[in-house]
Amino acid sequence: MSRRNNNNRNRGREEEPKFRVNGNIRIPEIRLVGNNLGEVSKKVGETVESGVYQTRKVLQWASKSELDLVEISPKAKPPVCRLVDYSKFLYERKKKEKEIKSKAVKTVIKEIRFGPNTDDHDFEFKMRHAIGFLEDGAKVKAYVQFKGRTIVFKERGELLLLRFMSELEAYGAAEAMPRLEGRRMSVMISPKKRKKPAPIKKRKPRPQPKVEAKTEAKPQPKVEANKSKSE
């Protein structure tokens, strides 16, 4: 029986509203705010403006306007409240929270693994992958895994990671120097922020000078003089 009671209590705590509403607001005065007070004034038949009021008075307005009195800033003195439809208020709030989460930048981390005896061909191959990741905006976590007796080659692994950092300087910057944790030495490289290219300003076409068309004089046909004397 005790377990059931505990479960019921936990459920009750989970279902408790985040905001105090209507009769749960037991303080004598509140500060009323909102952009719908003009509509509330029409419904209650008196002018309702932003300001400090007796809680009982505002609860009467809530009843007349078929709205809920919701406490949105409990730590303010006096607490700040609004007259709204509580279910609609919660829906819009959840919608805004989803929009904020969707706009939040998600950090992607790509891992690249080396061994202390990685050859140049494998190094170049993995470096090209790292460049692609950094250009896409992801972080790159490169690490050297030491297995068995290869732990004695710690210096070799550190030099490999330092070379890796140096080759990627144009694409990213290391957050810290390579660090050994257990049998793994790693380094985190963050992509460099690229500057957005300045917008190209369109040049206005220069006005072309007006060229007056020259009319060429047509040659006049030659008229032979009549012979006054006959041969």
pLDDT in tens, 192-224: 876 655 555 666 666 666 655 555 555 565 555
Does 67 reside within a domain?
A: yes
Does 120 reside within a domain?
A: yes
Does 79 reside within a domain?
A: yes
| pLDDT reported for residue 130 | 92
| pLDDT reported for residue 142 | 92
Quick one: which of 165, 194, 197 has its CA closest to 178? Answer: 165
189 touches 175 (CB < 8 A): yes
Shared domain for 131 and 87, answered yes or no, is no
Count: domains in the chain: 2
- pTM of the predicted protein model: 0.43
Give 140's contacts (C-beta < 8 A, 6+ positions apart): 109, 110, 111, 112, 130, 133, 134, 168, 172, 188, 189
Query: What tokens does 181 get?
Result: 């944790």
Does 114 reside within a domain?
A: yes
Domain residues for 53? 2-92
- Segment holding 141, helix H or strand E: strand 139-145
Shared domain for 22 and 86, answered yes or no, is yes
| pLDDT reported for residue 147 | 85
Q: State the 10-residue block means of pLDDT for the chain, 231 residues long.
A: 47 57 89 89 88 91 90 89 91 87 78 89 92 90 87 84 90 89 90 66 64 57 52 45
Does 200 reside within a domain?
A: no
Does 228 reside within a domain?
A: no
Output the domain CATH number for residue 51: 3.10.20.80
